[in-house]
Structure 1
């Protein structure tokens, strides 16, 4: 088990920052978009309802784009290293998250979610493909079981850390929380560039 953890540690670190960023989006997208794009915090208002609807549109956009790009990624990984493709996708995704802080127009916001969709397409494909390559056939289930903790741990961390930061350091400004998520995904992309294939062989 220790050997498996040691093999997966570089990817674990990348996954930690990646999923911390994703949870910042999933938890805070609605309060950010309703407050900073639709200029309301009144949950009973029409503007708030329009904002939540727009959140759904934005999420549908990045999910649909990610599903379409899932057919493109295998072609890219035939020409380039999976590690480099994933690193670039994470950096692009981080740009999408970072832009949310600056964008104040609902239609321009769609650009952010296009970038996030590119990142999400890689996140939901390449790490699992890498595990499938490096895991011995007789231990495949164990490798994937251990690797699932790379999602569970940042989820637990996000539940406590992001709320703590938002309340005590960001004065309730949730756009700063998503900005922090963008920084976390940028860090993940940078680390991924330095993960060598031999480290997880």
Structure 2
């Protein structure tokens, strides 16, 4: 399969691979502004630490519902007049997500904020899910590590700018904005929404797609109507579940612990810093706001570490292999998060966030590089949807269990909540070397591919 695919798909120029990845730069702004601000919005609206996980349920629950459906639909979509397959989903999700980002800072109650988070995360999933399959559609096996590494690069750059926006007051830079009557928090959401929409539209209009190989099958399914299509989706999804490649089953376990750990970080880091490092107790105080902004600032540093390590991944893989590279990154991230409760000097927070950035670069690329060569080409979308369910299911378990049970054991200490996530990442790191046997033999003799045109 690997050799055949290489001959069928020529190497793409680097600028085409970059254009395919720009949308991820915008998508990450949607994620980063919510990671930087949602828990603080909840606390400002009266939420307690043990209530925050349930309020975050929207993030994984929408993924569970949306990802497999959108993955299946994008597999079965082809619009001849527009020559589009995955891109209509990019466009729709970007429009809905931008609207949610504009309404979010105006939330007047906990449940309004939580409801808008449902809309936002559903939209981000509609946009993001087909992006993974988009790379597999357009690139051959040798270029895929480069394609996914560039996605990591764009995610890292989006993390940097998104958190920079969250860490500053735009009104201080542009005093005339004060006349709008909106706070700095409002303006940061608005700007992230604009960048999200513009970046995704750039990818939509600067990239092309080829008709799927099973085009005739898609046309026949469309002619049969929506009822048989739904039945076909359910049947095919169930079949894919039962026929998952062994490497996917092993990755599922690793993803389980990885994303439980990350979810703990996202929920609690932005509020752990103002409470545990800046000593703030009132969510409406200046010290609290300074802590939230500094958390975003250190997360920006995490984002700087991500693209640097992403560019190093092909070289590290050449010597360590894919599995050991991923395991090392998870190990560093886990140790970093475990250190959070012991840090009381703000400047020391840079170290664990750099470690988390290294882990993040690998998390958003290496599992997909390891998996995609074991999947049928005409089912990339549906398998990616199923695979991403191994992200959202553990997050749902955290949302339902961390508040009442685990946070009770941790005495509602937000920093301990982050450290608990670090421990879960260490478990994932210990499991990762078992993926070594699924790596292609050719990798031992052949260096990992470099960027096209370099």
For the criterion TM > 0.5, the same-fold answer is yes
What does residue 4 of structure 1 align with? 244
What does residue 29 of structure 1 align with? 269
What do residues 36-94 of structure 1 show as CA deviations (whole Å, max 9, x unaligned)? 10011211211111100111111111122212321111221122210010001000000
**Per the alignment, do residues 80 and 29 of structure 1 end up closer, same or farther by CA in structure 2, a change over 3 Å counting?**
same
- From 305, 318, 321, the equivalent of 1:65 is 305
Higher mean alpha-carbon deviation, 153-162 vs 181-190, is at 153-162
What does residue 111 of structure 1 align with? 351
1:135 is paired with a residue whose SS is coil
Name the CA distance, whole Å, in 2 between partners of 1:149 and 1:111: 31
State the shift of 1:154 in Å: 1.6
Q: Is the Cα–Cα contact under 8 Å of residues 166 and 174 in structure 1 kept in the other structure?
A: no
CA RMSD of aligned residues (A): 1.9
Q: Is 1:160 equivalent to 2:160 in the alignment? A: no
Equivalences for 1:186-201 in 2 at 5 Å? Answer: 186-198=426-438
Which consecutive residues of structure 1, in runs of 5 or more, have no partner in the other structure?
A: none
Q: Is the Cα–Cα contact under 8 Å of residues 7 and 199 in structure 1 kept in the other structure?
A: no
1:80 is paired with a residue whose SS is helix
Equivalences for 1:144-183 in 2 at 5 Å? Answer: 144-183=384-423
- From 255, 258, 264, the equivalent of 1:18 is 258
State the 4+ residue runs in structure 1 displaced beyond 4 angstroms. Answer: none
Higher mean alpha-carbon deviation, 123-132 vs 60-69, is at 60-69
2:244 is paired with a residue whose SS is helix
1:194 is paired with a residue whose SS is helix
What do residues 83-106 of structure 1 show as CA deviations (whole Å, max 9, x unaligned)? 010001000000110111211111
Equivalences for 1:37-76 in 2 at 5 Å? Answer: 37-76=277-316
State the shift of 1:167 in Å: 4.0
Which consecutive residues of structure 2, in runs of 5 or more, have no partner in the other structure?
A: 1-239, 441-454
What does residue 78 of structure 1 align with? 318
What does residue 99 of structure 1 align with? 339
Name the CA distance, whole Å, in 2 between partners of 1:5 and 1:187: 22
Higher mean alpha-carbon deviation, 83-92 vs 67-76, is at 67-76
Give the aligned length.
Answer: 201
- From 130, 135, 142, the equivalent of 2:382 is 142
Higher mean alpha-carbon deviation, 158-167 vs 25-34, is at 158-167
Higher mean alpha-carbon deviation, 91-100 vs 145-154, is at 145-154
Name the CA distance, whole Å, in 2 between partners of 1:104 and 1:65: 22
Q: Tell which has more relative contact order, 1 or 2 (C-alpha 8 A, sep 6+).
A: 1
- From 362, 368, 374, the equivalent of 1:122 is 362
What TM-score, normalized to structure 2? 0.42
State the shift of 1:141 in Å: 2.4
Q: Is the Cα–Cα contact under 8 Å of residues 93 and 119 in structure 1 kept in the other structure?
A: yes
Q: Which has the larger radius of gyration?
A: 2
Name the CA distance, whole Å, in 2 between partners of 1:51 and 1:161: 27
What does residue 203 of structure 2 align with? none
**Per the alignment, do residues 98 and 78 of structure 1 end up closer, same or farther by CA in structure 2, a change over 3 Å counting?**
same
2:424 is paired with a residue whose SS is helix
